[in-house]
């Protein structure tokens, strides 16, 4: 049984967002959605103001994270830093109960 760990990935966006970069955005979003659905990606945030993007991955190793990053179309344009997290807590809204009324 493989144990999953959480890894924070900090992406540094290129200074200039080229047409090639922008054209790949729909493919990036589709792949991000797949990673969320597979339980691999836990969070994903972007700050254009600071040219940074952050993501938290569930993976067995840093190598596995790097393999996932290689499937993201925009990764080749960005510098990345991967760090294993000691813990990762989130708050999710409770799902309301189902009512037959």
Q: Greater confidence, 64 or 87?
A: 64
Instruction: Measure the CA–CA gap between 99 and 101, rounded to whole angstroms.
Output: 5
- Domains (range + CATH), the chain: 5-84 (3.30.70.1060)
Nearest to 56 by CA among 14, 5, 94: 5
Rounded to whole angstroms, how far apart are CA atoms 101 and 82?
Answer: 49
Residue 15 has pLDDT above 80, yes or no: yes
Q: What is the pTM of this model?
A: 0.83
What CA–CA distances, in Å, run from 14 to 2, 24, 36, 76, 91? Answer: 35, 14, 24, 10, 31
């Amino acid at each position: 049984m493989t144990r999953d760990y959480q890894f924070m990935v900090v992406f540094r966006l290129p200074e200039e967002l080229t047409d090639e970069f922008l054209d790949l955005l729909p493919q990036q979003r589709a792949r991000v959605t797949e990673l969320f659905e597979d339980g691999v990606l836990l969070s994903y945030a972007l700050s254009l103001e600071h040219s940074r993007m952050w993501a938290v991955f569930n993976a067995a190793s840093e190598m596995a994270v790097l393999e996932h990053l290689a499937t993201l179309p925009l990764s080749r344009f960005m510098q990345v830093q991967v760090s294993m997290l000691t813990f990762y807590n989130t708050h999710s809204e409770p799902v309301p109960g189902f009512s037959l009324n």
